[in-house]
Structure 1
C-alpha cells in the first residue's frame, strides 16, 4: 500500500518540509506534508510558513500525544464511558515536567478532555488509551510492552528499537521531527491510524517489513 512516499515528517529551520530541494517527486505532496505537520503540532504561535523554533523537544512530543487522539481510532470498548476524559499515561521517569498539563489544559478531542497519569511501574498504571514509555532501560521497556501490546493501547516512545519491540509509534525530535509507525502492531490490537498520519511518517512497519517513506 502506498502512503505518499514523498511526504516526510520533517521540519528544518526555515519551516519547510526539508525534502523538496532537488527532489523530482511532486512538490504538492511536500506541501501537504508540511500542512499536516503543522496540524499535528498545533503549538501556540506556530503557523504554516513561519520559522519553526522549539526550545524544548518535549513541547513537540506533548503536542503529538494530544493530537494522536484525533488521528487514531480506538475500538469502542477501549474508550472510557460517556464523555469521560482521554487518559494519557507516562510510564517510567517523567521527562515532561508540567509540559503535558500546559499543553492539554482546556483541550478536548471528540468531546473528551484529557487526564494525565504517571506511574513508575505498569502495575501502578490505570487503563489508558495512550502510554508514553519513558524507560531508558530496554529490558523494562520490553517487559511492559509484552503486556501492553496485547491491549488496544497506543504505545509511544522516543527510545531506539521501540517498533521492533512491539511499540506502535516512535519519534525523535532534533532539528527535525521524525515519526515511525508500527502498522502491524496497531492492527493487531484494532487501532486504526488514519492515512493522513501515515503520509507524514518517516518509516512504516507493515507485514514485517520496515519501509522508509522517503
Structure 2
C-alpha cells in the first residue's frame, strides 16, 4: 500500500507530464496546434476582465493551460495549473506577462522572511507611511497634514504618491482640485512613467470627487 507522500508524488508527476504534453502541443507548428482546449485541461479566459486590468500590446489568451516550470529558488519541477492562472490573472489582476517562478514551499518561506524583516519599530517604513496617509485622507486637512501629503507627492515610492493624490481627492478644497487637474493633464506617451500613472490616479480622484458631490446634492 502506498503512503500519502507517495500518492502525492505520483499525482504531482502525472500533472507535470500532462502539463509538458499540453505545452508541447501549444509550441508545435500551427498545422499541429488545432486541438480542442478542453483536451488540454484548459480554463476559459474572461477577456473583458483581462482587458480592464492589463495594459499590453500583445494578444490576450483565450484560455489557460496547465504549464510546467522550475522553481527559481529550490529547482524543483512544478506545474502552474490552469485554475491557478485564472485566479492570478482575473481575481488578483496580476500582469498577463507574469508567470509562476516559485513553488508553494518557497513562496511561503519568502513571505515568512519578508514578514520577519518588517518586525520592529521603523522596519516597515513604507507600510507605516501608507497607513498614515490613509488616516490623513479621512480627516479634515490641517497645515501639518497638507505638508505630509505634499512631501508624499515627491516620494520615491509611487504608491505613496498615489495615496497622496487620493487624499487630495478626499479633501476636495479648491487648491486640491487645482493640483489634481494639473496632475491629470500631465500626460506622457510612456506606459511606465510616473506622469501617466499619476495622471490616471488624479483622474480617478477627480471622478470620485464628482460622484461624492452628486450624491450630496441628491441627498438634499
Structure number with higher relative contact order (C-alpha < 8 Å, ≥ 6 residues apart): 1
Same fold (TM over 0.5): no
TM-score range, shorter chain: under 0.3
Bigger share in strand: 1
